[in-house]
Amino acid sequence: MLSAKSLFQEILDDDDAFRLFCSIAASGESQGGWENGRIAALVPRTLRDLAPKITRHGADEDKHGRIFNALLKQRGLEPVVVPYETDYTLLLERHGIGLAHDQLNRDEPLSERDIIVYLAHSRVTEQRASEQMQLLRRHFADHPALGRAVKMISRDEDNHLAYCHEELLRFARAGHGRTIQNVLRECALAEIRVYRDVSLAVMSHMGTVLRWPRAKAAVLAAGIHGMYAYERLAGWRRMVSLEAPARRDALGGPATPEAEYA
C-alpha cells in the first residue's frame, strides 16, 4: 500500500535516493539562509527592529542545510548536484515570487513594500515547510538516525510560520491589509504550481533511482496532480489566512544555543 511513510522509508533505505533527497533539502535551506541574510542587511532604517528576526530566520535555514549535510556524512555519502527542475527555491524566484536575487545582490535599502513581499512569500513557503516537517515528525520522530533532526527542524519551521503571521498582522494593523492579501494570494497560487512541478520532478528522479514500475509512478503522479487540483480549487486559502500565533515573538532574541547536529 502506498503511503507517505512507506515512500519515505524507501528513500531512507536507499543510499542514492537518500543522497538526492538530502542534497535537494540542503540546497534549498542554504539558499533560504542566504536570502534572509541579504534581506536583513538591506532592511530600511524605519524597520531596523525586524533585522534581528530576519537574521535569526536565516541562521535557522543555514542550520537546517548543515543538518541535511550531516545526515549524508553519517552514512558516508557526498551531496549531489541538484537537478534544476527539482530546485523549489530557485524556481519560485524564477517565477517572480519573493524578492529577486539581482535586487538582493545590490547594496540598496529595501522598501517597506519589499519587506511585506518578503514576509508574505515566507508565510506561504513556511506553511508548506511546516506541514512537510509535521508529516515527517509524525512518522519518524522516534527514528534513531532521523528523529532528532526532524524534531529540531520542525520546531524551527513552526516558529518561522508564527513569526510571519505576527509580523504581517502588525503591518495589516498599520494599514497594509489589502496589499498583504493581494501579495499572499499571488504567492500562494504560484507556489502550488511550482510545488506540483517540483514534486513531479522529484518523484520522477526517485522513480528512476528506485526502479519503480510504471504503474506505481503513474499512481504517484496522479496523486500529485490531484493534490494540485484540490489546492488550486480551495486548498491555497490556508496559505493566505492570518491569525495571531499561540507563540508570540517566536524569533525574538538570539538563536537558541544548541549543539550542532552531527
Read off the pTM: 0.94
What is d(CA 81, CA 77) in angstroms, rounded to the nearest whole number? Answer: 13
Residues 6+ apart with CB under 8 A from 21: 11, 206
- The H-assigned helical ranges of 175-245 are 177-210, 214-233
Q: Which CA distances in Å does 21 have to 28, 115, 202? A: 11, 31, 8
pLDDT tens digits in sequence order for the chain, 262 residues long? 678 899 999 999 999 999 999 999 999 999 999 999 999 999 999 999 999 999 999 999 999 999 999 999 999 999 999 999 999 999 999 998 999 999 999 999 999 999 999 999 999 999 999 999 999 999 999 999 899 999 999 999 999 999 999 999 999 999 999 999 999 999 999 999 999 999 999 999 999 999 999 999 999 999 999 999 999 999 999 999 999 999 999 998 666 555 555 4
Domain regions of the chain by residue span: 4-239
Say what the pLDDT of residue 1 is. Answer: 60
H or E segment and range at residue 28? helix 15-42
Give the residue among 181, 52, 57 at the shortest CA–CA distance from 122.
57
Give residue 262's pLDDT: 46
Cell numbers standing for residue 137: 515528525
Neighbour-count burial of 79, counting CB atoms closer than 10 A to its CB (0-12 exposed, 13-18 middle, 19+ buried): middle
* Residue whose cell numbers read 541562521: 59
- Three-class DSSP category at 6: helix
Total residue length of the chain: 262
- Burial class from Cβ neighbours inside 10 Å (0-12, 13-18, 19+) for residue 10 reads middle
Q: Which helix (H) or strand (E) holds 125?
A: helix 112-140
Q: What is the CA radius of gyration of the chain?
A: 18
What is 4-239's CATH number, 1.10.510.10, 3.40.50.150, 1.20.1260.10, 2.60.40.10? 1.20.1260.10
Question: Tell me, what's the pLDDT at 2?
Answer: 75
Is 193 exposed, middle or buried, given 0-12, 13-18 or 19+ CB atoms closer than 10 A?
middle
pLDDT for 253: 62
Q: How far apart are the C-alpha atoms of 208 and 202, rounded to whole Å? A: 10
